[in-house]
C-alpha cells in the first residue's frame, strides 16, 4: 500500500492500481484477488462454484416470475423487491433434497407444499403489504382464478392512504415453467370503484387460466387514485399500491 501525493486527486482504478481516499489521505493499492481461472478449476473453490451455479439459477427463476408479471410489476414494487425474492427462492431451493449441492432447483423445491407456502403471500411492494391494506374476507378459486368478495366496502375494508378517492382491483394468473424458461400470464379486467361507493359484491377473474407445464401463480393488484376534475391520477407515483402473490399451485 502506498500513499499518493500528486497534483491531481484520483479516485478509482487505473492500470491495475486502485486509488481511494481515507482519513490519512489518498492511498494506492494494486488490484488483487483470486483469478477467474483458479475459481473455475481449483478444487479448493468447488463450494464457490456450486454456490455460484445455484445463485445463477435463483436469479433466472426470479427473473421469470418478474417477467410474467409484465406491466403489473411497474405499478407496485419496492427497490429491495428483487433481493427479497432471491432470499425466499433460496429457501425454496433448499427444499430440493434429491439434487447434489450446486444443482438444487427451485422447481423441485416448489413440488413440496412447504415451498409453495414460502412464496405464498409475497408482497412486491413491502411498503404497502396486502395484509395491512386489505381487511376483507375473500375467496380465491384456483380452478378459474376468480377472486371474490361478497360485500366489498372500500371505505371500511381498505386502509386508505390520504387523498385516495378511487381504487382499482385486478387479478392475474401466471404460468411459469422454470425448466423450459417459458411463461404466460392472463390478467383480469380492472374494476374501478370510488371509495365512497356502497357495499357491493366484486368478482375478478382472467378470461381463462394459462395451460401447460410448471406452476401457476395467482396475483392480486390494488391501485389507489385521486380524482381531480373528473380525471383519475395515480396516487403518489404508485407508492401505496399493493401487489401480492396469493397462491401457488401445480399447473
pLDDT bracket for residue 103 (50, 70, 90) = very high
| Mean pLDDT score, 55-60 | 91
Going by C-alpha positions, the residue among 57, 121, 111 that lies closest to residue 89 is: 57
- Worst-scoring range by mean pLDDT, 37-46, 50-59, 67-76? 37-46
Q: Is residue 40 part of a domain?
A: no
Determine the Cα–Cα distance for residues 248 and 142; give it in Å rounded to an integer. 9
| Mean pLDDT score, 131-159 | 97
The CB density around residue 60, as the number of other CB atoms within 10 Å, is: 13
**Is the predicted pLDDT of residue 112 greater than 50, yes or no?**
yes
Do residues 22 and 58 share a domain?
no
The sheet that has 12-14: what strands, in order across it?
2-3, 25-30, 17-22, 12-14
Do residues 8 and 105 share a domain?
no
| Model confidence pLDDT, tens digit, residues 156-212 | 999 999 999 999 999 999 999 999 999 999 999 999 999 999 999 999 999 999 999
By residue range, what is the domain housing residue 231?
45-250
**Is the predicted pLDDT of residue 224 greater than 90, yes or no?**
yes
Do residues 116 and 20 share a domain?
no
Burial 185-224 (b: 16+ CB within 10 A, else e): bbbbeeeebebeeeeeebebbbeebbeeebbbbbbbbbbb
| Mean pLDDT score, 58-69 | 95
More confident residue, 9 or 123: 123
Determine the Cα–Cα distance for residues 17 and 14; give it in Å rounded to an integer. 5
Q: List CB contacts of 43: < 8 A, sequence separation 6 or more.
A: none
| Mean pLDDT score, 24-51 | 59
Do residues 26 and 52 share a domain?
no
Single pTM value for the model = 0.83
The percent of residues above 70 in pLDDT, for the chain, comes to 80
**What pLDDT, on a 0 to 100 scale, did the predictor assign at position 11?**
53
Do residues 7 and 97 share a domain?
no
Do residues 87 and 121 share a domain?
yes
**What pLDDT, on a 0 to 100 scale, did the predictor assign at position 53?**
81
Determine the Cα–Cα distance for residues 205 and 189; give it in Å rounded to an integer. 8
Written as nine digits, the cell of 229 is: 376534475
Domain count, the chain: 2
Do residues 99 and 216 share a domain?
yes
More confident residue, 242 or 31: 242
Contact 243, 75 (CB under 8 A): yes
Amino acid at each position: 500500500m502506498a500513499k499518493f501525493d500528486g497534483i491531481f486527486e484520483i479516485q478509482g482504478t487505473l492500470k491495475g492500481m486502485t486509488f481511494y481516499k481515507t482519513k490519512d489521505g489518498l492511498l494506492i493499492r494494486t488490484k488483487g484477488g483470486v483469478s477467474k481461472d483458479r475459481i473455475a478449476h481449483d478444487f479448493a473453490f468447488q463450494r464457490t462454484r456450486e454456490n455460484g451455479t445455484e445463485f445463477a439459477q435463483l436469479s433466472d427463476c426470479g427473473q421469470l416470475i418478474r417477467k410474467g408479471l409484465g406491466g403489473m410489476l411497474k405499478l407496485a414494487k419496492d427497490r429491495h423487491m428483487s433481493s427479497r425474492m432471491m432470499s425466499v427462492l433460496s429457501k425454496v431451493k433448499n427444499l430440493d433434497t434429491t439434487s447434489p449441492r450446486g444443482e438444487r432447483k427451485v422447481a423441485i423445491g416448489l413440488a413440496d407444499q412447504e415451498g409453495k407456502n414460502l412464496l405464498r403471500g409475497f408482497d412486491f411492494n413491502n411498503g404497502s403489504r396486502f395484509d395491512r391494506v386489505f381487511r376483507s374476507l375473500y375467496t380465491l378459486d384456483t380452478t378459474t382464478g376468480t377472486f371474490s368478495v361478497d360485500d366489498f366496502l372500500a371505505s371500511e375494508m381498505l386502509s386508505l392512504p390520504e387523498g385516495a378517492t378511487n381504487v382499482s382491483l385486478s387479478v392475474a394468473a401466471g404460468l411459469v415453467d422454470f425448466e423450459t424458461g417459458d411463461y404466460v400470464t392472463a390478467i383480469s379486467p380492472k374494476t374501478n370503484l370510488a371509495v365512497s361507493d356502497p357495499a357491493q359484491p366484486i368478482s375478478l377473474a382472467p378470461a381463462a387460466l394459462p395451460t401447460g407445464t410448471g406452476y401457476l401463480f395467482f396475483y392480486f393488484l390494488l391501485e389507489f387514485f385521486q380524482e381531480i376534475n373528473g380525471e383519475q391520477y395515480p396516487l403518489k407515483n404508485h407508492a401505496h399500491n399493493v401487489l401480492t402473490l396469493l397462491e401457488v399451485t401445480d399447473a
